[in-house]
Every structure is written in structure tokens, then in C-alpha cells.
Amino acid sequence: MASIKEKIIIVVLLISGMLLHVQGKNSGTLQEQDENTLFLTGPSSLLVQQAIAGPCLGLGAESNILSVFSVYWSIKEKNLSEDDQQKAWLYLYRYLQQAQSFDPWYWDTYRLTNGLLAYQESYQSKAVDILAQGAKARSWDWEMPFTAGFLAHDQLKDDVRAFHLMKLAINREGAPPMLVGLAARFLNKTATESDTVDFLRAMKKSLPKGYTQYIDKRIDELLHGGF
Amino acid sequence: MKNILTIAAFTVRELLGFRVTRTLFAITALLPLLAWAFSQLFMLEIAKVQLDVMVGGAYLLGVVFLLSTVVTLLGKDIGEQVCYFFLPPPIERYSYVLGRFLGSVVVLTLLYTLLLVGVELLIWISLQYDTSIHRHGINWIAGIMIGWTAWYQTISLMGAVFLICAWATGVAEMLVFSSSAAFIYWVFPPILAGMKGRSDADPLVSESLKQSLDGLSWFFPDMTGGSIVLAFEHGISISNIVIMQHALGHLGYTALMLGLAIIIFSKRSL
């Protein structure tokens, strides 16, 4: 049983703790620090995540996608330094990669890869890699290889790779006949800017509003800048 | 056989009388709501996310059921010698083990039947009201596969729990060893699979290490039920042979564990 003296010390310590917390919250420097710092530490190794997830593979993929959301939120909403920005994009890429390892058929992973990663300079090739692997796993889907092919053509300027991916898309069941013409126009470089913009707008439709800024930027570049 | 059924019926009544069991049934009934709420955080394949939550719930509920009710029941029976009540001559000890096991399987089956109803309800709502993007690949069979794979995988863990309880001396010991077994079953198979994948791809890894990893894998039941269920959630069909092999592997593992439990329990002093 604590004596009255000990009880008073405990109460005083608790009150001082609360006061320090309130003071810290109101301090401009801390608030500013909070707005400019990336508090994320990046994904743990895939093996550790697999051990935690056990047989719940789907939830393993979804926990990585939730982390993608929070990293993207930090990139978008915080005023991060250049170093932190680089780190954040690296984390985002790794989370997407790990989500793919857990569930190679999960569409959200590829939509986020396509909407966010594919338009970052140092990650364009990696985004195409993720999408190309997704195209292999989602054997029923013509859209995935076509999108990967489009990005290889539009962002990487690698038409050999684009040709292989678009050919894969065209041969898939359910691929619309206009796809052959569109692919040919892209690869013959006879596609107009409006073809590319139309395709980007179609891709944008399946993304929520907050996640389209990089596609919007590319559309803007095409409409007001070079091809 | 009559003795086994009598003990099984008694076990069902006892387990259903536990407050923990009733709480687990209540959580199972509410799980679809949690799955629905969680899925709203995602963008496209929302119905698949709901099923993932149900899969996670199924495995976790199975483990909690085993540790909180089955181990408690067996701990009381063996630790406090309550099992004498079931073992007046000429009842054999194997009847007691099989009766307790069968009763626990029946209650687990009831729990997973309720879970299956929840899963099928989510699938029905999704098929009725979601757009094709949100419910891609979802069908009735996915729900049945979730219930079925979680059921036989939990039963194989139940076999191991019975083996541990047949050998251990009191509730504390049973709980510690059974929790360790559940932890190992959960954590080790994916680590082994990951290590095996890496060592197969790496030419620098020696053949003996690869063989050791293969050997170690034999000690654990194959928990790849997760990947079978995941494929069904996406509408990808898997050959019936693979599914049957997986289920039979687990049932064989269960039979082995239960056989050992009967031998040990028959020889131990009570």
C-alpha cells in the first residue's frame, strides 16, 4: 500500500507529464517538425511479414497496401525534404513489391503501381517490371499487359518491351479488336497525342480522385508540352 | 463406439456451456461486419478483402478455440483427474480420447458453419450490389473453400494439441506447449517455404542445406491452404487432385497425432 507521500509524488508526476504533453503539442517547432518529417521506417523483410501473416496471405497483401496509402499520404500532405521524398518513394515501391509477393493477383497493387509509381523517374522501369509480372499472374487479364506495354512505350521509350507486352495483351481472351490498331499506332509512333491522352483518361477512371495527380500531370504535359 | 459417442455428446454440451465458446460464436457472427468495415479502406477488389478478413478470422478463431476451450477442458480432465469420471471399467482409455476429440470437432464444425453462413452472406451481398470491378472473381465456391480448408487445418492442429495434452501434466504445461505448437504451425511453414524458395534459386547454397530444409518441412503440416483459398477468391480454379491431396495430408497428420495421443494416454499414470 503506497503512503500519502508516495501518492502525492505519483499525482504530481502525472500532472507534470500531462502539462509537458500539452506544451509539446502547442509548440510551433514540434508542429512544424511533425509536418516536415517522414515518421515511417519502411517495410520489414518479406520473410518476417510472411511469418506474421502465416496462412493469411490476402491480409498480408492488404497490410502492405495500407502502408502504401500512408506513405503516399506523407508524400502528398507533408512538406518532406528531398531525402525524405526519395526514402518515401523507395518505401512505397517496396510495399507494392511485397503486396505482389503475398497476392500476385490482387488488382489494387497494380492500380497503385500504375497510378503512382509509373510516373516517378527512377521507378518507371520497376513499375513496368511489377506490372509485367502481374500480367503473367493474371492470365485472364488483357488490360494489365497492355497498360505495362503502354508505360514501356510512353515512359521508358522501350518499344521492344512494349511490343512483347502489347502482343501478350492482344492474344488474351476478351481483348477488344480495337486494341490491335491502338497498339500498332503506338508502336509505329503514328499515335496522336489525343490517343495517348484518351488512354490515360481511361486508366484514370478506376483510380480514386486523390491518386490521379501523376496521371493528370502526364496528361497536362501531353496537352501543353511535348510528346 | 457407443462409449465414444456418449463422451462426444457430453463434450459438446460441456464446450457449449463455456462462456468463452459462446463469446467465440458471438465474434464469429459479428465478423462479417468487421470484414465489411475493413474492406471500405480499399479501392477495387473490395469483396476479396472481405473474404480475406473472414479467412484471417477463421484461422485465429480456430487457434483461440483450441487454446481457450479444448486445452482448458483437457487440462481439467487430466490435471484434476476428472477423466476418472469417464473411465469406469470396462471403458477403454482410447474411447475417452476419441470421444473428447469427436466432441471438440463437432463444436468446431458448428463454429465454422456459422462462419460459412457469414462468408456466403457477404458473397451474396457482393454479387447482388457490387460492381463487377469490386467483386471480381468472387463466387459461392470461394466461401465453401474458406470454411473447408480452415476446418481441416485447425483439426490437424487439434490433433497436435491432443498429443500434447495426453503427455503433459497440468493446464499450465498444456497451455504453454499447445501455444508453442500453434505458434510454430503459424510461423514456420511460411519461413521454411521462403527459405526453400531462396535456397533453390541460389546456386551458392549447398545441397545438404537444401535437403535439411526439405526434411524440416516434413515435420510441419503444409499450411498452403492459404494459397488455395486465395486462388479461389480470385476465381482461379485449382485441380481437385491438389485440393484432395492437401486435405488428405492434413487428415493423415491428424490421424497420426491422435494415434500417438491414444498410445501415450493409454500408458501414462493418472
Q: What is the pLDDT of residues B2-36, one digit of tens each?
A: 888 888 998 999 999 999 999 999 999 999 999 99
List the single best residue of A57, A116, A144, A203 to mutate versus B (max B Cβ within 10 A): A57
Q: What is the mean pLDDT of residues B93-117?
A: 93
pLDDT for the residue B37: 94
| A96 residue type, one letter | L
Which alpha helices (H) appear in B40-92, and where do they start and end?
46-65, 71-79
| H-run or E-run covering A59 | helix A57-77
Q: What is the mean pLDDT of residues B153-172?
A: 91
| A64 residue type, one letter | N
Chain-chain contact of A50 with B194 (C-beta, under 8 angstroms): yes
Sort out which chain A residues have CB atoms less than 8 A from B49's CB and list them.
58, 62
Q: What is the mean pLDDT of residues A150-174?
A: 83
A224: Cβ contacts below 8 Å, ≥ 6 apart:
none
pLDDT for the residue B64: 95
pLDDT for the residue B254: 92
Residue B221 reports pLDDT greater than 60 = no
B200: Cβ contacts below 8 Å, ≥ 6 apart:
B210
pLDDT for the residue A174: 78
**Beta carbons of B234 and B48 less than 8 angstroms apart:** yes
- For a pLDDT cut of 90, what percent of chain B falls above it? 46
Range of weakest confidence among A30-34, B121-125, B233-237: A30-34
Residue A182 reports pLDDT greater than 80 = no
Residue A63 reports pLDDT greater than 60 = yes
Range of weakest confidence among A58-62, A107-111, B79-83, B136-140: B79-83
pLDDT for the residue A62: 94
Chain-chain contact of B187 with A54 (C-beta, under 8 angstroms): yes
**CA-to-CA dists, residue B122 to A227, B53, B58, B129, angstroms:** 46, 11, 15, 11
Hey, is the C-beta of B14 within 8 angstroms of any chain A C-beta? no
Q: What is the mean pLDDT of residues A121-136?
A: 91
- Only one residue has cell 500476385, namely A104
Sort out which chain B residues have CB atoms less than 8 A from A56's CB and list them.
52, 55-56, 59, 226
Q: What is the mean pLDDT of residues B154-163?
A: 93
Residue B116 reports pLDDT greater than 60 = yes
Q: What is the mean pLDDT of residues A30-52?
A: 74
Alpha-carbon gap, residue A92 to A86, rounded angstroms = 10
Sort out which chain A residues have CB atoms less than 8 A from B223's CB and list them.
54-55
Backbone torsion region of residue B139, taken as left when φ is above 0, otherwise alpha when ψ lies between -120 and 50, otherwise beta: beta
Q: What is the mean pLDDT of residues B176-181?
A: 93
Residue A227 reports pLDDT greater than 50 = no
| Selection from A119, A67, A59 nearest residue A92 by Cα | A67
Which of B48, B133, B193 has the CB atom closest to A206's CB atom? B133
Q: What is the mean pLDDT of residues A28-46?
A: 68
List the single best residue of A56, A68, A73 to mutate versus B (max B Cβ within 10 A): A56
- Only one residue has cell 500500500, namely A1
Which alpha helices (H) appear in A155-212, and where do they start and end?
159-170, 178-187, 193-204
List the single best residue of A45, A67, A72, A103 to mutate versus B (max B Cβ within 10 A): A103
Chain A segment 88-107 residues within 8 A of B by beta carbon are 103, 105-107
Chain-chain contact of A107 with B233 (C-beta, under 8 angstroms): no
Task: Give the residue on B whose Cα is nearest the Cα of A112.
Answer: B43
Alpha-carbon gap, residue B107 to B231, rounded angstroms = 28
**Beta carbons of B141 and B228 less than 8 angstroms apart:** no
ipTM score: 0.85
Residue A198 reports pLDDT greater than 80 = no
Sort out which chain A residues have CB atoms less than 8 A from B224's CB and list them.
55
Higher-scoring residue by pLDDT: B41, A173 = B41
Highest mean pLDDT among A3-7, A131-135, A190-194, A223-227: A131-135
Per-residue cell: B49: 478483402
Chain-chain contact of A103 with B49 (C-beta, under 8 angstroms): no
Residue A26 reports pLDDT greater than 70 = no
Arithmetic mean of pLDDT over chain B: 86
**CA-to-CA dists, residue A16 to A30, A67, B262, angstroms:** 19, 35, 62
Q: What is the mean pLDDT of residues B44-61?
A: 92
Hey, is the C-beta of B220 within 8 angstroms of any chain A C-beta? no
pLDDT for the residue B259: 94
- Binned at pLDDT 50, 70 and 90, residue B175 comes out as very high
Task: Give the residue on B whose Cα is nearest the Cα of A51.
Answer: B187
Q: What is the mean pLDDT of residues B200-216?
A: 70
Task: Give the residue on B whose Cα is nearest the Cα of A62.
Answer: B49
pLDDT for the residue B101: 94
Residue A15 reports pLDDT greater than 50 = yes
Arithmetic mean of pLDDT over chain A: 82
Alpha-carbon gap, residue B264 to B191, rounded angstroms = 31
DSSP A3-27: -HHHHHHHHHHHHHHHHHHHHHHH-
Residue B215 reports pLDDT greater than 50 = yes
pLDDT for the residue B201: 64
Chain-chain contact of B49 with A62 (C-beta, under 8 angstroms): yes
Which of B45, B56, B194 has the CB atom closest to A56's CB atom? B56
DSSP A83-123: HHHHHHHHHHHHHHHHHHHH-TT-HHHHHHHHHTGGGSGGG
Hey, is the C-beta of A178 within 8 angstroms of any chain B C-beta? no
Backbone torsion region of residue A58, taken as left when φ is above 0, otherwise alpha when ψ lies between -120 and 50, otherwise beta: alpha
Chain-chain contact of B187 with A51 (C-beta, under 8 angstroms): yes
Exposed e or buried b per residue across B213-249, where buried means at least 16 C-beta atoms within 10 angstroms of its C-beta: beeeeeeebbbbbbbbbbbbbbbeeeeeeebeebbee
pLDDT for the residue A206: 64
Chain B segment 54-83 residues within 8 A of A by beta carbon are 55-56, 59
Hey, is the C-beta of B170 within 8 angstroms of any chain A C-beta? no
Task: Give the residue on B whose Cα is nearest the Cα of A58.
Answer: B52
| A165 residue type, one letter | L
Residue B144 reports pLDDT greater than 80 = yes
- The pTM for the full model equals 0.81
Sort out which chain B residues have CB atoms less than 8 A from A206's CB and list them.
44, 133
